[in-house]
Amino acid sequence: MPKYNYHTHTYRCGHAIGEDEEYILAAIEAGYTVLGFSDHSPYRDFPHPREHMDISQFDEYLSSLKALKEKYKGQIDIRIGLESEFFEFNREEREELRSKVEYMILGQHFDSPYDGHISYFKPNSEEEILDYGESVCRGLESGLFTYLAHPDVFMNRQHEFTAACKQTAHLIASKAEKLKIPMELNVRGASKGKFQFGDVEEFFYPHKDFWKIVSHYDVDCVIGIDAHDPKDLLDKDNIKAVYDEIADLNLHIIEEPFI
């Protein structure tokens, strides 16, 4: 199993718990050699306190992690990043944030930062699923992101892998292959357990039908804990569940730290 995790949140996003140092101590206990923090990035003009950190918290986020990075030097390598959506209209703001961190991962959770936006964590229409795929590809093309977080998140609360789902999987995987951007097998999705899809039970994400399609492309895969609680870093059962789910697929998982 990988000795890294680059997908770690903090209490600042409004839906995670625990102090920054608690995540680091848990990561050390779990045997990680690299821990990357990638809390939900702020939007200067679109505050959503239950979805991402406020812009007023960003400088403190950096200073806290920089201090802890120095404190635990020699015990664990700390990387400072962000998880962010991509929207063309505020590309400059994303570029400014990217310049202040070591990496940024693409997590397209909704279709717009405005109030009333469409969340991809609910049952989505065929049109919404296709829109998700297009928006992810635009994000990948931006050059801002190190890897793509939970690419199959649109399967959350779906109960059928439809034609639009298949088309979206091919679209994203082909773009990731072309741009040589890794895709994440998200452990948090597995922690929610399996649900009924026709005659079989599967995770909403990582969704096996999605990853069957990915397996036909030359794409590197990343394991991401998506930790929202320090205890998430200690739970190896969910990581094993992800490996078990895709054991018969020919996926190339990056095992060594790469950021």
Looking at residue 246, its pLDDT comes to 97
Q: Which of 40-49, 94-103, 167-176, 208-217 has the lowest mean pLDDT?
A: 40-49
With both helix axes pointing from N to C terminus, report the angle between 163-179 and 126-141 in degrees, rounded to the nearest 10: 0
Question: What is the rounded average pLDDT for all residues in the chain?
Answer: 96
Which residues are CB-contacts of 248 (< 8 A; sequence separation ≥ 6)? Answer: none
Given this model, what pLDDT does residue 47 score?
Answer: 82
Residue 48 pLDDT > 90: no
Mean pLDDT of 7-21: 98
Tokens 């096996």, residue? 208
Tell me the C-alpha distance between 68 and 26, whole Å: 14
Residue 116 has pLDDT above 80, yes or no: no
> What is the Cβ-side half-sphere exposure of residue 148, based on CA atoms within 13 angstroms?
33
Share of the chain above pLDDT 70, in %: 100
Report pLDDT digits (tens) over 220-232.
Answer: 999 999 999 999 9
Question: Which domains are present in the chain?
Answer: 4-253 (3.20.20.140)
* Residue 59: predicted pLDDT: 98
pLDDT tens by residue, 132-169? 999 999 999 999 999 999 999 999 989 899 999 999 99
In this model, does residue 215 exceed pLDDT 80?
A: yes
Buried b (16+ CB within 10 A) or exposed e, 26-35: bbeebebebb
Identify the pLDDT of residue 249. 98
Answer whether 0.85 is exceeded by the pTM: yes
